[in-house]
């Protein structure tokens, strides 16, 4: 986990962000929970316990900036925004299996989507990306059932 946090801090530095103790704490928290999506409100609660003077806006702005530079991935569950540490900096285009019981996130390396199929249906449009997630029970949760 230390290597992933170090890589994220390097990206912040390369993008000319100050490496404040709050940002380092945010990166460490996300890296410590890298196999799960976290409710943004939980991230907010955690950081505000560490830094009581830190505003909600600062936390949400940092998460948005982290997403823009590729440190976190976002996901919506039950109308609640969630974030997780970026799985794979070498392959930004990837997909996930998410356990609907324990929340474990596993990377799927293969992309099942043929973009040419969609480009044919959307003449003149420019597709900038897509998301693909599978939901179900991970092997551990299935075995416990």
pLDDT tens digit at each of 145 positions of the chain: 577 888 889 999 999 999 999 999 999 999 999 888 899 999 999 999 999 999 999 999 999 999 988 888 888 888 888 898 875 555 556 777 888 888 888 887 777 777 777 888 888 888 877 777 878 898 999 998 8
Superfamily of domain covering 95-144: Ferric-uptake regulator, C-terminal dimerisarion domain (3.30.1490.190)
Binding residue positions: 93, 99, 102, 130, 138, 141
49 by Cβ neighbours in 10 Å (0-12 / 13-18 / 19+) ranks as: exposed
CA angle 107, 111, 115 (to 5 degrees): 145
The CATH fold assigned to 2-85 is Arc Repressor Mutant, subunit A (1.10.10)
Residue at token pair 């390396």 = 109
CA angle 81, 17, 63 (to 5 degrees): 5
Binding residue positions for Fe cation: 93, 130
pTM of the model: 0.72
β-strands 80-85, 95-99: how paired? unpaired
Helix (H, G, I), strand (E, B) or coil at 79: coil
C-alpha distances in Å from residue 16, one per residue of 7, 19, 58, 62, 85: 14, 9, 17, 13, 20
d(CA 32, CA 79): 24
Domain ranges of the chain: 2-85, 95-144
Contact 82, 76 (CB under 8 A): yes
Binding residue positions for Zn(2+): 99, 102, 138, 141
């Amino acid at each position: 986990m230390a290597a992933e946090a170090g890589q994220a801090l390097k990206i912040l530095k390369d993008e000319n962000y100050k490496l404040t103790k709050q940002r380092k704490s945010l990166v460490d928290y996300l890296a410590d929970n890298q196999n799960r999506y976290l409710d943004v409100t939980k991230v907010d609660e955690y950081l505000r316990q560490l830094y009581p003077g830190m505003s909600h806006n600062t936390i949400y702005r940092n998460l948005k900036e982290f997403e823009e530079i590729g440190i976190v991935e976002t996901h919506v569950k039950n109308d609640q925004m969630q974030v997780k540490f970026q799985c794979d900096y070498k392959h930004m285009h990837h997909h996930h299996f998410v356990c609907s019981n324990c929340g474990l996130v596993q990377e799927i390396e293969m992309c099942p989507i043929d973009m040419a199929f969609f480009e044919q249906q959307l003449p003149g449009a420019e597709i900038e990306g897509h998301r693909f997630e599978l939901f179900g029970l991970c092997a551990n949760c299935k075995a416990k059932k």
